[in-house]
Amino acid sequence: MLPTPKKYFLTSGSAEGETELTAFDGALLKAGIGNINLIKVSSILPPQAEYVPELKLPFGALVPTAFGSIVCEEPGTIISAAVAVGISEDSFGVIMELADKLIREEAENKIEQMVKESFAMRKMKLKDIKISAVEHKVQKIGCAIAAVPLWY
């Protein structure tokens, strides 16, 4: 049985690279999560998880992470990635991820609506929303990522 994470933070970053993978790696580094191993998880924030914006993760750690990313090879294209965490009053939270060819403001608005809809579907009361988003104009090969790493 895996332990349930007790801490989390939101982050985002973007970068250019010579390849799709190096653009992705650069975006991870800009987001501050380039030296850990992401384990992609779906979108539930554990009950009582503590928001720790300056959380430092050990190099090479296996980190459960909800994230959205986009890589694009069309120069001049605007890409964005966003994550949002919806906090309930007395239960678990919900994490939403988005990556698309949008400007940052559109991504932030869309991700906020996604959190509100997910809470409505669960018939839960929404207490707070935290959002992290990034926008990137592609020069050659660009990547944008937004993530919610979870920790113990």
Provide the annotated active-site residues.
37, 42-43, 97
142 pairs with which residues across the strands? 16, 72
Residues 5 and 152: beta-carbon distance below 8 Å: yes
Nearest of 121, 38, 3, 24 to residue 81 by alpha carbon: 24
Task: In whole angstroms, give the CA distance from residue 83 to residue 100.
Answer: 12
